[in-house]
Structure 1
């Protein structure tokens, strides 16, 4: 039986999953920033986020990169964090307030339909968000529209499944257990923009110039494989989406297999989950 991808249903499910996972993703914030910090700094450098910049953060989540941008732009700048999930944006707003960052605003927006003024931003950033949008080309076109001439876009995505076993192994196990077909070309997913040159070419087709990319090794380091399983189980909305069709006992069996598989990345210094990211950028 051929299953037709329904982008509207997918986005509704995605929103619901992130509403459920928002608190957990926020709780894991320090781990996430340790893991993604180097790639985030490179993205902000590549988009020339500096004092006074206006920044649009697409699919901002709990806002670790939002806060990093807000600290760079200072009181003279402004960061608008957007996401499809209002629950996760509430955490971003509370973290900004707790940090005394008055230059952060949050707004619930679909990443493919950015209802913002044209040519209003110096930089548009997205950290592990673009990969999950059904219309990635349309999303980039919306980002292009939001940028002023000379403004810069930056995105962080996973590279290939083979280079991201900490995430690819759970995806593969769940896909097999849930009898899910492999994603078709053009469908969203964690590795949808990971092949060499794919994101760079998409940026060029959108109209961006001076496009560049850089590979960043970003191993996920934790005390044990079991801790990684807990992290993914609590906060990875994509995995929960894939598990939704399984009975509770079958979901539990899947997590048990995932834990056993990830144990191969344990060593004397703890768990080191293979992860490789691509940071891409371009100029309007």
Structure 2
């Protein structure tokens, strides 16, 4: 049996601030795989050029921005990177300063209430972002509003991030007689391609393309990979947060072991890797 209760994923900014410095390493490069797949959609239908004006919405550690800037476009396009969490903004700014990203502007901004004018961008991108907004419909509406007619939109979300299965199995093992299920966050209406396509269509976009892709979480050791998932689970599950320290640590010990077992040696012989699955969706205004 599957013992789980889901609730809309809605985390306050301060939790993202706490997680910001571990975010990129925790995904182990999987986000880069996802962004590259998304940008291939753009290349097919609406290539990014020097005169493009791009919004990296819910930018996190600026993976979208970084990938665009390494694509050999000369001169570089202007990119506006925004995020609601100050911790993410600080990380993106540190990359901007270190990389000398002169065409990049980094701002703290709520993706559900963008301060940009109408029809500003040629490309509006949100990778692993808008699907986590408290009101994802508002987020998409703002992306539509700020995109130029004929502009290109790209969003990504998770199909299978793997860790929930381990969390449920651990809960069932440790609490076989539990009357209440473990509460885990859900990504409402974004975990299958059909719903992702529907979300963009209802927001007014057309010529929608959607695909599910594998992405690889690469870690130096399986222990480091499991620890990253455990840290995330501590923040997002009300059930886990409600336990006393001893119960929580007992759960995490078993949970981490199951995650470790999911990793396998990397194909290049360095470290370990875990295959996850994401949904890449794009369209036009």
Bin of the TM-score, shorter chain as denominator length: 0.7 to 0.9
Q: CA deviation at 1:196?
A: 3.3
Contact 2:225–2:260 under 8 Å retained in 1: no
* Structure 2 residue aligned with 1:168: 164
Partner Cα separation in structure 1 for residue 23 and residue 221 of structure 2? 19
Q: What's the CA shift for 1:180?
A: 5.5
Match of 2:19 among 18, 21, 30: 21
Higher strand share: 2
SS at structure 2 position matched to 1:158? strand
- Counterpart position of 1:152: 152
Greater helix share, 1 or 2?
1
Distance 1:24 1:76, change over 3 A: closer
Q: CA deviation at 1:66?
A: 1.8
Partner residue in 1 for 2:242: 245
Assess, with a 3 A threshold, how the Cα gap between structure 1 residues 175 and 17 changes in structure 2: closer, same or farther: farther
What corresponds to 2:97 in structure 1? 97
Deviations 1:180-201 (A, max 9, x none): 6667xxxx73474112310101
Q: Is 1:41 matched up with 2:39?
A: no
Cα 1:125–1:134 shift into 2, 3 Å = same
User: Does the residue aligned with 2:14 lie in a helix, a strand or coil?
Assistant: helix
**Take 1:250 and 1:180, find their aligned partners in 2: how far apart are those partners?**
16
Matches within 5 A, 1:110-129: 110-129=110-129
Greater alpha carbon shift after TM alignment, 130-139 vs 219-228: 219-228
In 2: Cα distance, 1:23 partner to 1:201 partner: 34
Q: CA deviation at 1:20?
A: 1.0
What TM-score, normalized by structure 1, do the two folds share? Answer: 0.81
Given that residues 123 and 153 in structure 1 are in contact (C-alpha distance below 8 angstroms), is that contact kept between their aligned partners in structure 2? yes
SS of 1:218's equivalent in the other structure is: strand
For the Cα contact (< 8 Å) 1:56–1:125, is it kept in 2?
yes
The CA deviation string for residues 106-126 of structure 1, in whole angstroms up to 9 with x for no partner, is 111122112211100011111
Answering whether residue 227 of structure 2 is matched by residue 230 of structure 1, we say yes
Q: How do 1:173-212 residues align onto structure 2 when only pairs under 5 Å count? A: 179=180, 189-190=186-187, 192-212=189-209
Gaps of 5+ in 2: none
CA gap of 1:78–1:246, structure 2 versus 1, over 3 A, is farther
- 1:83-136 CA distance string (max 9 Å, x none): 111121111111122111111111111221122111000111111112211211
Give distance in 2, aligned partners of 1:112 and 1:207: 16
CA distance in 1, matches of 2:41, 2:193: 19
Correspondence 1:56 to 2:55:
yes
Q: Give the TM-score normalised by structure 2.
A: 0.81
Q: Does structure 1 conserve the Cα–Cα contact (< 8 Å) formed by 2:192 and 2:279?
A: no
Within 1, Cα distance between the matches of 2:281 and 2:86? Answer: 27
